[in-house]
Structure formats: C-alpha cells, structure tokens
A and B are shown apart, each in its own frame.
Chain A
Amino acid sequence: MSQNVEEQVLDFVRGRFPQERFDADQDIFQLGFVNSLFALELVMFIEKTFAITIRGEELQIDNFRTATAMAALVARHQQAPAASGA
C-alpha cells in the first residue's frame, strides 16, 4: 500500500515538474523550485486521491518533504479513519 502511495505521489510531482527527476526519499523542498502554490496542490492531490482530510496541525513541512513522508502521513490516516475526517 505504502509503495503504491509513494508512486502515486511521485507521479503527481513528476507531472508538475516533468523536466526533473525524483525519487521517494528526495526532499522536494530542497530543490528550490517548489512554491507554496504547488504545495497546496500537493495537499489537495493527497486528500482527493487517498480520501483523507489533512487538518491544520498536520500542515507541517516534514509531512510533505518526501514521497516517503507523504506515504507515512496517508498511512496514519488510513490506520485511524475516524480521525481523518474523510
């Protein structure tokens, strides 16, 4: 499941930056071209694709640095669906 989440997140990021190469543990914010607009799109993508609702307290950069981190965030929601708000 987690691998699948990582791949889907990476596909989204690659679609947004088709000229770049990414892997699951790459810090996308370190690359220098990710702005807050894309970060919001990323949040929306994760929410819609994995049917979760990310709340304000989860809006921490460490949750979105890498595809691995995002997969872990999704996994936490899927393990505790009552807290997801979905």
Chain B
Amino acid sequence: MAAPVMLGELAEPILPVTDRASARAFVDDHIVPYANAWEQAACVPEHTLELMGEAGLWAPFLPVDEGGAGMDMVTLGAVHEEVGRGCSSVRSLLTVHTMLSWTLQRWGTPEQRDRWAKDLATGRVLGAFCLTEPGAGSDAAGIATTATRTADGWVLNGVKKWITGGQRADLYLVFARVGSSIGAFLVPRESPGVHVTPITEILGTRASMLAEVRFDHVLAGPDALLGPSGFTAGMVLSGTLDLGRYSVAAGSVGIIQACLEACGAYATAREIGGTRLGGLQLIRAKLSDMVTDVRAARLLLSEAGRLKDAGDAATIMATWVAKYFASTAAARHASEAVQIHGANGFGGDYPVARLYRDAKVMEVIEGSNEIQRITIADEAFREALRQ
C-alpha cells in the first residue's frame, strides 16, 4: 500500500483509494465540491488529475509489478461508481484511461507493457480511446481511419470524433482499418501529424475535454500495433468496449445515487405551503423509486464484476444488462431530480441540472441503448431455444 502523500505542510494527506469507502472520501473531498464549476469551465484542472494519481485511482487493476494495486473488478466498479457520483466528466476520463490501460495489460507484449504500464498506473501518461468517427459510432465496420503497413511500421490517416479526454490525453488507443479488417494502435499525442481540436458544444460530460483528433500521415513504429490485426482485432475491441461499458454502468449507478442524495437533502430542507417537500406523497414515491433502482443497478454491476473476476464469459451479457438498466434508470431519475428541485433544478446552485445532462450521455455511449436491447433480446431467444 502506498504511503499517504503530503501536499505542503497544511494540506490533508492524500490517502490511497483501495475500496468504496476510501473512494467516497476522496470524491467528497476533491471532486463533489467542484464538479459544477468544472462543468462551466469545460475542463477538469490539472491539480485534480494529479491528486487522482496520488490516490492511485487511474489504473489500480494493473498488477503490482506494473504499478497498479491488483484491484479486483468488483471493487473497481464500486470505485468508478463513487467517482461517477461526484462528476461524470471525471469518471469519463477515468473510463477511457481504464480502457486503454486494461487493453494494454490484456493484449500488450511485455515490451509494450514495460513502456507504458507504470506511467498509466500513476497517471503520468493519460490515455484516451479513439473509435468513433464523424461517420461511424461504435460500429467498427464503419471505420474509415486507415493504418497502412510500411517497411518501418505503420502510417495512420483519418479523423476520430467525440474523443473523451482527447484534449488532455498523452496516448491514444486508435482503432483503424487494416485492409479489410481492423487493428488497435498506441499513438502518442506528440506524434507529428496528430492534430487535436477541442469540442466545446456538448450536451453532457462538459468537463471531459472532448476533442476531434485528426491523424494526418502519422508514422507509428512496428510496436504501435496492440494485439493482432485482422478479424481477431475485433476481439480486442470487444473486450475494450466491455470494460468501458462496465465503467459507464458504474458511473450511471453513481448518477442515480447522486440524484438520491441531492433530492433527499432538498426535500428535507425545502418547504412548500408550510409543508416539507419530503412529506408529499408524490415526492416520496420518486425517492423510493431512486432507492430501489440504485440498489438494483448496483447489484447488476456487482454481478458483472464478479463474473469478470471469475473470468466467466457470461460477464459480457451481464455487463450489457447492467449498463442498460443503470443508464436508463439514471436518465429517468435525473429527470425526476430536476422535477423535484423545481426551478432551482435548472441552475448551477444544485447538482441536478448537471446530472440530467450527464445522464443522457450514458444512454448513448459504449453502445446505444437500442443496440443493447437488440443484444439482450438475442440472449433471450437463445435461452428459449436452449430449453
């Protein structure tokens, strides 16, 4: 376990995040009080990113000898939930960094892991995930960015859009077309030919430093390819998206919990016509639904994490289910949270407007809810055929 880090004589020590309780304490101290301001500023300050590194938040699932803490997936889900409770933008940065770090650890060569893992674990290098393009979302078949093999390695050309953390990331995990299939590539942001354009008009996760990233004849070495190219690179992408989906599901649970906490506090303090808001039956009904759904979503997430820890292939479907349930519940309850706050819910004095904007994003990213329902329905039909 890392020793507490002191930031000057008067600063509180930054304790390592090892579980839900320590994550909650970190988030309450260093994220919750500032999340609305970060949303307005459209960025998470560098100081906070450094604090996250000192707390060991960036990639605690990596093995100890690669700079991580060997954290299990159930605990990782709880940690990402807590971060998502505080700020979906921070959780989004954590998600894409996690996707890159996990993919490196899972499919990288020893040389690639030696080069990047420890810097990713500490946050000295921040990662981003580059799949979506102006003309293609999570549909890998629609990728237009190309990677062409040369005598010295690879040449990448194309445009990636809606890249979370793209403005800040040091290392991109880029999925590109290789012939008739795809491949995953590690591309440092400092590579000549990488052009980053901030995206400032965005519905939610406004502080997640989104960018359009253009690769213009970017030369990458032969060691840039992470895993295979060809059909089996789709397995790499599927695994990366699965972990991203798990993190987004966790963040969605965090949004519901944040809605519940905000509404509980508001309905306790607010009076209307001499009656405490929390005494009104329709308000109580909304809070009871939040309590029920956050517990259900958390259990679905935990089950998906347990299956990941067991290496059970059933985690893929369990993660789809958890993400679908949690993201739709988050969007529903964030809307109700604004409703409970009335006009106060529209502004920046309370967190619920931000939660409302962020929750909508969860229904779209890492596989839209429509795609999720198609996939889940396929499982239902398979189950029927098996019986």
Contact = CB atoms under 8 A, between A and B. Distances in A.
Interface of A: 15-19, 29, 35-37, 39-45, 47-48, 55-57, 59-61, 64
A40 B310 contact: no
Interface residues of B, number: 28
A36 B235 contact: yes
Q: Which 10 A-B pairs have the closest CB atoms?
A: A36-B234, A44-B313, A41-B313, A18-B385, A56-B107, A48-B311, A40-B238, A40-B235, A56-B227, A59-B232
Interface of B: 106-109, 140, 226-228, 230-232, 234-239, 242, 310-313, 315-316, 375, 382, 385-386
B97 to A, nearest CB: 20
Given A43-B235, A57-B109, A37 B313 contact: no
B33 to A, nearest CB: 40
Given A48-B310, A56-B227, A60-B232, A40 B109 contact: no
Nearest to B182: A36
Contact of B313 (A19, A29, A45): A45
A48 B232 contact: no
Nearest to B107: A56
B316 A61 contact: no
A40 B319 CA distance: 14
A35 B234 CA distance: 8
Given A15-B386, A44-B311, A48-B312, A36 B227 contact: no
Contacts of B107: 55-56, 59
A59 B108 contact: no
